[in-house]
Amino acid sequence: MSGYVVTILITIAIYAILAHSLNIITGHAGQISLGHAAFFGIGAYTAALFYTKAGLSFWIDVPLAALVAGVVGAVLGIPCLRVRDDFLAITTMGIGFVVEAVFLYIPFFGGAMGIGGIDLPMWAGREMTKSEYLILILVVLGTLYALDYILGRSWIGLAWSSIREDEQAASALGVDIVRFKVMAFILGSALAGLAGAFYAHFLTFIMPYNFGFGQSIMILCMVVFGGIGTRWGPIVGALLLGLLPEISRPIMEYRTLLYGLLLVAMMRFQPSGLLGADSFLVVYFTKGLNRIRGGEVKA
């Protein structure tokens, strides 16, 4: 594979982890986070600082990044998840702005110049090639999917879906809604941090602008586009939004406009996403499949 293709694939794979992490919060547990890029950034900065300033290796700074992002998620998420659902959307939006400002204005974080000199990990005595790094990320992504599958079948997954459907009813049925919402938020934040660490080691330098509100919207876009709460939605979303700028460079100028309009159009005409239950793709596909099988076509 050419270096160019590998670079794009790595970006897409990292986006997929990121989209997946938001899907846990928004898709599974039905809570909205509008500042998800902040946790992506916290992971990236944690890994970068531990790597460049403390001299820790990649293999240690990555789990640390996930841990720090998860802890920050717990500290910030618990107070707003205790009150009512709308507060999480608002506070996470604020968190996004504050975290970006902290990276930008506090010299320790490198200011507008960001942090450089973050390398690809060492493996068997030498630095990994990009292709090997891609494989590593794909392994992580695969593991996440296995985890998602297990959680989806578990009591936790069941509790999440009951909260997503109706919080008050879930609570009357014995589900500790705060606890399960916090659980989803921490897990999602930690995984975003993990994605951030991989991102930092891939870009080799990071800047505050990589983790602003626009990025949060893009992550949300990926989840919404693929289909909120579906298992493969995050990958489809990451693939489409990761490829879009590559397919058409001139679109770059209008990229954000396009994301915005896409979100509006999806919610208005295809709210369940490309892989959701009543998506036109799914409907056509099932119809086609039934026709091949010779079965009845459902209306």
Partner 1 sequence: MIWQQLANGISVGSVYALISLGLTMVYGILRILHVAHAGIYTLGAYVGLLSFRLVDNFWLSLFAGMVGAAVAGYLVERFLYTPILHLSRIAPLIASIGLFTAMEEAFRIVAGPHTLVYNARVGLGDLAIGSFRLTETQVLILLVSFLILLFLWLFLTRSRMGLAMRACALDLETASSFGVNVSAIIAMNFIIGSLMAGAAGVLIGVYDNQVWPTMGSIPAYKALAIVVLGGLGSIPGTVLASIIVGLSETFFIGVLSIPFPRDAVAFIAMILVLMFRPYGLLGKA
Partner 2 sequence: MTLLQVISLSKDFAGLHALESVSFSAERGKILGIIGPNGAGKTTLFNIISGIYLPTAGEILFQGKKILRMKAHRISHLGIGRTFQIVRPLNNLDVETNVLVAYGHRIYPSLWKSVRACRQREALQEVRGIMERTGLKAYSGTLAGNLPLGFKKRLEIARALALQPKLLLLDEPSGGLRYEESFQLMELIRMLRDQGIGILLIEHNMQVVMDLCERIVVLDHGIKIAEGVPEEIRSNPQVIEAYLGRETQHA
145 Cβ contact list (under 8 Å, min separation 6): 20, 231
For partner 1, the closer CB: 79 or 288: 79
204 Cβ contact list (under 8 Å, min separation 6): 116, 117, 118, 119, 120
- CA distances 246 to 10, 12, 41, 94, Å, are 13, 11, 23, 31
Candidates 63, 161, 245, 281: give the one binding partner 2 (CB under 8 A). 161
Candidates 71, 93, 120, 158: give the one binding partner 1 (CB under 8 A). 93
Q: Is 206 helix (H, G, I), strand (E, B) or coil?
A: strand
For partner 1, the closer CB: 107 or 117: 107
Candidates 259, 274, 276, 279: give the one binding partner 1 (CB under 8 A). 259
Interface with partner 1 includes 30 (CB under 8 A)? yes
Give the span between the Cα atoms of 299 and 283, in whole angstroms.
9
Give the span between the Cα atoms of 81 and 234, in whole angstroms.
24
Helix axes 58-82, 85-105, angle to 10 degrees: 140
For partner 1, the closer CB: 63 or 214: 214
- Is 157 within 8 Å of 28 (Cβ atoms)? yes
Give the span between the Cα atoms of 179 and 212, in whole angstroms.
28
Give the span between the Cα atoms of 115 and 7, in whole angstroms.
20
Give the span between the Cα atoms of 246 and 244, in whole angstroms.
5
Candidates 17, 24, 47, 151: give the one binding partner 2 (CB under 8 A). 151
- The item of partner 1, partner 2, none sharing an interface with residue 30, based on CB under 5 to 8 Å by kind, is partner 1
30 Cβ contact list (under 8 Å, min separation 6): 85, 160, 163, 164, 165
- The item of partner 1, partner 2, none sharing an interface with residue 173, based on CB under 5 to 8 Å by kind, is partner 2
182 Cβ contact list (under 8 Å, min separation 6): 74, 77, 78, 81
Interface with partner 1 includes 111 (CB under 8 A)? no
Interface with partner 1 includes 228 (CB under 8 A)? yes
Interface with partner 2 includes 143 (CB under 8 A)? no
- The item of partner 2, partner 1, none sharing an interface with residue 172, based on CB under 5 to 8 Å by kind, is partner 2
Interface with partner 1 includes 75 (CB under 8 A)? no
For partner 1, the closer CB: 141 or 175: 175
User: Hey, which residues between 43 and 102 contact partner 2 (CB under 8 A)?
Assistant: none
Stretch that binds partner 2, among 71-79, 122-130, 164-172, 256-264 (CB under 8 A): 164-172
Interface with partner 2 includes 166 (CB under 8 A)? yes
- The item of partner 1, partner 2, none sharing an interface with residue 251, based on CB under 5 to 8 Å by kind, is none
Residue linked to tokens 């626009």: 214
149 Cβ contact list (under 8 Å, min separation 6): 231
- The item of partner 1, partner 2, none sharing an interface with residue 120, based on CB under 5 to 8 Å by kind, is none
Contact set with partner 1 (CB under 8 A): 26, 30, 32, 34, 79-80, 82-87, 89-91, 93-94, 97-98, 101, 105, 164, 213-214, 217, 220-221, 224, 228, 254, 256-257, 259-264, 266-268, 271
Give the residues lining the site for partner 2 (CB under 8 A): 150-151, 153-159, 161-162, 165-166, 168-180
